[in-house]
Structure 1
């Protein structure tokens, strides 16, 4: 047996044993077979928790055609999925251009359901004029939901349930799981301490709230950059320092972006940074830090370790860039991502939403929309039971 398959299976078995919500869905789908005869095209981080999601869909009769997202694919998991008969594209070492070709390969298979992450599949379907043959799908991220409502508004005639619109996911996965995993990843990749260090969190949505909360819980001093005045108001009343990126740049030891928007740390910020500042991004797209402008301003770039680059300026200052500006909580040695329990909850939102798309499409509207409330209530009830919160 391929060593990667053996290693990947061991990791998946451990994670499967800690995801009871998906286990229940997998057992139910094995009986009801809601995806029988359906081809699901997926673009989502290919790591062990995603493998457990795909097992549930496959148990329900789905044919899976999948690729990962740029920079987060785990090769042993790809090997396991291929060994089960799934068609899977992608590797950890893929360039961004190869990632885009992988997305096109998924679309070449002509899926009739899409499980999207960042809107890449939906955009590809629109570009190909192939939207009429798609029943519907889901979108995992805030970034993808924004694309559906702006760039792709009115162009997607099938229903797309935006998982990140769910309050359940916002609290369970974005605030608590992303908050935890970003702080854990910062410590794991850099081996730096949090207590006493000055952190700027750019964005005070659910992910930004969680990152700020967990940094403060570990003893970090935290400031918030937020352009929405109501969210800035909330951050101030939550006890954080609030200002613009340029106002706070000279104070920061670490800057973490969490907005889903490009260039929120832009070229005008870099000259203001203190020597040794660490830059990291937790958003889906690797564009929140203007990395091309950062490299243009650099006198030299030194690769220090896995996911760590030292960007040196002519004036003697340097900054440390983590994961090349890609998602920091899926980067570096032994990447973990969000907690098992949170992804069990988030992926149950995915599979039950996809089940609704194929079994009751008449209850849904064209284009982006939130998770139906009855699905959220069902999952909240199941999660509380699994957590045994009454103890």
Structure 2
């Protein structure tokens, strides 16, 4: 089914810079390297087309190359207009992967690139935030019959998929990669924790130690952001709507407040809930002069920028990726990366070693879907535990770490209900 498709990228001359980035992450992704060897041998995607929508930077690019090594024709686009790296796009296009992506396209062009990706009629998809799935199930239902299934990367995407499954809209199986142990325990916690502060620190060039950081949401991503803020010397406040998570944050040593009260004390704010309007005008009205707002959730809806703009008399860019809103009372509020994903729109995303595990799960889950989609039904599927464990074991091997194995007698002991 191989055809010649013309990539849509910013500048093909940037390819050498992008290749260096991809080579760097490849050298630090041993789990994915092992899977690439398996794919090259087995050719699990031979004759198929795979569409990928992820944050298009070097680590994602290497995942695309691994899928291609498995025999697929790969078409890739970005999942956020500010996280796409033009040099990486150019490098991928040079290596025979079709790329429909540019850094910072306007809203119409961004949507058009997503649609063009789907118009190549893929058999399998890897999605981030559910954008491809949503388009397929709304305006391009004519493309649904071709789709065997796919895998979803994020909490936000899985929330959308489960809503579709619940009302009977979902038309093919999707594996919930975000819910796998090797995803949320490491990617969501350690990856988000580090990359969010990488993005904030390099963008603001301000000290965190001694400041009050408000983390909105204490899921696995929020836990990581709070943990790293504490490590940087911040006084950390957590806001939550879930009582159990709020107790957990309290017992982890953090101050727990309502957003109304947290708005009065924060200097840095990081929203990481997956919901909309977490920070609203009523909160901004009570914030300190110079408060810095950022978002680590998938969509740019967690900070209500419309209400912030209505409260302001002017807006200007004061540093790259920082906009200053001058309020009517003279206070200044700063927003990083237009309220988009701060770790990718203003940084390079998660460390390579972290994404190594996540993208290994993506690649293995895609193979699992392709081999089992006829029996899966139209639903959200958990990553099988044996795939999760395989990723963890391969990671340990790459680190030179050995662990113990239960003996037959120990297994029998654990499985027995009789008195011991």
TM-score (structure 2 length as normaliser): 0.90
Runs of at least 4 residues off by over 4 Å:
none
Give how far 1:366 is off: 2.2
Identify the residue that residue 63 of structure 1 maps to in structure 2.
Answer: 73
Q: What pairs with 1:206-355 in structure 2 (closer than 5 Å)? A: 206-332=220-346, 335-355=347-367
Deviations 1:151-182 (A, max 9, x none): 56421131100111112211111101110111
Identify the residue that residue 115 of structure 2 maps to in structure 1.
Answer: 104
Does residue 19 in structure 1 map to residue 33 in structure 2? no
Does residue 140 in structure 1 map to residue 153 in structure 2? yes
SS in 2 for 1:299: strand
| C-alpha separation in 2, matches of 1:216 and 1:307 | 24
Identify the residue that residue 130 of structure 2 maps to in structure 1.
Answer: 119
Moved more, 99-108 or 340-349: 99-108
| C-alpha separation in 2, matches of 1:139 and 1:369 | 10
Gaps in structure 1 of 5+ consecutive residues: none
Is the 1:131–1:156 contact (alpha carbons within 8 Å) kept by the matching residues of 2? no
Give how far 1:64 is off: 1.0
After superposition, the CA RMSD in angstroms is: 1.5
Does residue 388 in structure 1 map to residue 388 in structure 2? no
Identify the residue that residue 386 of structure 2 maps to in structure 1.
Answer: 374
Give how far 1:320 is off: 0.7
- Residue of 43, 50, 61 corresponding to 1:40: 50
| C-alpha separation in 2, matches of 1:234 and 1:132 | 45
Q: Highest Rg: 1 or 2? A: 2
Give how far 1:379 is off: 0.7
Give how far 1:362 is off: 4.6
| C-alpha separation in 1, matches of 2:34 and 2:42 | 12
| C-alpha separation in 1, matches of 2:99 and 2:310 | 36
Change (3 A) 1:170 1:76: same
| C-alpha separation in 2, matches of 1:266 and 1:313 | 14
TM-score (structure 1 length as normaliser): 0.97
Is the 1:123–1:152 contact (alpha carbons within 8 Å) kept by the matching residues of 2? no
Gaps in structure 2 of 5+ consecutive residues: 1-10, 404-420
SS in 1 for 2:237: strand
| C-alpha separation in 1, matches of 2:241 and 2:164 | 21
SS in 2 for 1:255: strand
Give how far 1:196 is off: 0.6
Is the 2:271–2:303 contact (alpha carbons within 8 Å) kept by the matching residues of 1? yes
Does residue 50 in structure 1 map to residue 60 in structure 2? yes
Between the two proteins, the alignment pairs up a number of residues equal to: 389
Is the 1:162–1:371 contact (alpha carbons within 8 Å) kept by the matching residues of 2? yes
| C-alpha separation in 2, matches of 1:7 and 1:218 | 32
